[in-house]
Amino acid sequence: MSKKLLLEHIDVPGINTYEVYRQKGGYASVEKALKSMTPETIVEEVKKSGLRGRGGAGFPAGMKWSFLAKPDGVPRHLLCNADESEPGTFKDRYLMEKIPHLLIEGMIVSSFALGANVSYIYIRGEYMWVSFILERAIAEAKANGFLGKNILGSGYDLELYVQVGGGAYICGEETALIESLEGKRGNPRMKPPFPAVKGLWQRPTVVNNVETIAAVVWILNNSGEDYAKIGIGKSTGTKLISASGNIKRQGVYEIELGLPVDEFLNSDEYCGGMANGKRLKAVVPGGSSVPILPAELFYKTANGDARLMSYESLADGGFATGSMLGSGGFVVYDEDACIVRNTWNFTRFYNHESCGQCSPCREGTGWMLKVLNKLEHGQGSMEDIDLLWDIQRRIEGNTICPLGDAAAWPVAAAIRHFREEFEWHVKNPKLCMERNYGLLESTKKFELVS
């Protein structure tokens, strides 16, 4: 059994209520932090833990916190990023829905560490019912003296608000989130200045993912050093993974970082292996933005090492033969899945979600979609595959925010690893048309492509 730092009590009946959460030791980290620690010692513990941001980029949380200048009287803010719109990712929803007080507790100790007296949880609009769960948990915490004025008699004040998001994937990008929270259209800002210097209302601000903030609770209840002992190398601690696709047991799992991918996919404790006796074709290990890995590169790196669920191992080989842990959205494709159709589908999403500010992303995602439309519907040519490659190459690295990269990487990886499937679409226009008009079972088509 792997370690459970976040989900240990997830199945306890009533754990979503203050009463049961408290019986299980909830809010102990707030008592410890406010009575026996200083903001500086908390930041130090988080640094020692090696905790990396769980929103996708994996930036060390303690380092990000230490970018805030010393308090100088200007208000500062902690923003929890609960926008979670990356296709394949649903771990934050699970945590907030099942054990909302863990996030509230993490927000209190983290806000105290950062010197923030007003903090926000920015939650995606489609999670409306979860926002109600959070509102109720906040009211309970406040009624029990953990929020509001003079928390536990310490002299520390904190107001925590839930803001329902603007209904766009781009609002999960930290500076777009800030714009949206300020009541504007969620367009990313140029960086620098980074939010630590000029964030919400031009004030020092930290944006962290739900899971990152929740992990701080365990770190304070134990120690940064204890946390750093869990996991592997620079991938310390545990990670929530949302597993989907044609596997036996879809769901959210907490794994110790460093777990072999083979064990995660095939053991009954986690995904339980492929469903319906199908063979594995490919895995997107970290949400729709990260490169897809064909089965052979999923199990083993290009050097022949067993692939592990860690930031480093999944990225081994760079984008030529590796991928990323990303947000932990683990999507499994079996032998019947059509990679061209999947790439077309992802590209529809990115094209729809591009904010339109940068031409390479606004125009490029549109052109990629046009070309993929042709290929998927049996009207493409071999030159179109090269054109597609060329367009994605011109988007990557040429936009204000990483949404452009997120749109380009899946296309690049699909062509790199599954070019023969793109070519099959060119060579078999009739079968493509028939499948798209429902005349052929989708499963038949890829018997031709091993």
Q: List residues binding ligand FMN (CB under 6 A).
A: 53-57, 59, 81, 83-86, 169-170, 172-174, 207-209, 212, 401-403, 406
Cβ 204 to ligand FMN, closest distance in Å?
A: 15
172 vs 286, beta carbon nearer ligand FMN: 172
- Amino acid, res. 402: P
Bridge partner list, 141: none
Query: 113: closest CA among 123, 105, 121?
Result: 105
Q: Return the C-alpha torsion angle 426, 429, 431, 434, nearest 10.
A: 140
Cβ 89 to ligand FMN, closest distance in Å?
A: 8
Q: How far apart are CA 181 and CA 166, in angstroms?
A: 9
Cβ 187 to ligand FMN, closest distance in Å?
A: 11
Cβ 253 to ligand FMN, closest distance in Å?
A: 18
301 vs 354, beta carbon nearer ligand FMN: 354
Query: 135: closest CA among 8, 16, 215?
Result: 16
Phi, psi of 33 (to 5 degrees): -65, -45
DSSP string of 152-185, one letter each residue: GGSS--BEEEEEE--S-GGGGSHHHHHHHHTTS-
54 vs 445, beta carbon nearer ligand FMN: 54
Cβ 209 to ligand FMN, closest distance in Å?
A: 3
DSSP string of 281-329, one letter each residue: EEEEBTBTTSPPEEHHHHHB-TTSPBPEESHHHHHTTHHHH----TT-E
158 vs 176, beta carbon nearer ligand FMN: 176
321 vs 357, beta carbon nearer ligand FMN: 357
Cβ 171 to ligand FMN, closest distance in Å?
A: 8
Cβ 447 to ligand FMN, closest distance in Å?
A: 37
What is the CB neighbour count within 10 angstroms for residue 373?
14
Cβ 19 to ligand FMN, closest distance in Å?
A: 29
Cis peptide before 192 (omega within 30 of 0): yes
Q: Which structure tokens are listed for 85?
A: 């719109």
137 vs 170, beta carbon nearer ligand FMN: 170
67 vs 201, beta carbon nearer ligand FMN: 67
Phi, psi of 163 (to 5 degrees): -115, 125
246 vs 323, beta carbon nearer ligand FMN: 323
Query: 286: closest CA among 242, 347, 233, 349?
Result: 242
Q: Which structure tokens are listed for 150?
A: 């003079």
Cβ 165 to ligand FMN, closest distance in Å?
A: 9
Contact, 156 vs 112, CB < 8 A? yes
81 vs 343, beta carbon nearer ligand FMN: 81
Please, is 300 exposed, middle or buried when counting C-beta atoms within 10 Å of its C-beta (0-12, 13-18, 19+)? middle
Cβ 124 to ligand FMN, closest distance in Å?
A: 7
What is the CB neighbour count within 10 angstroms for residue 251?
15
53 vs 378, beta carbon nearer ligand FMN: 53
Question: Which position has the token pair 């959205």?
Answer: 329
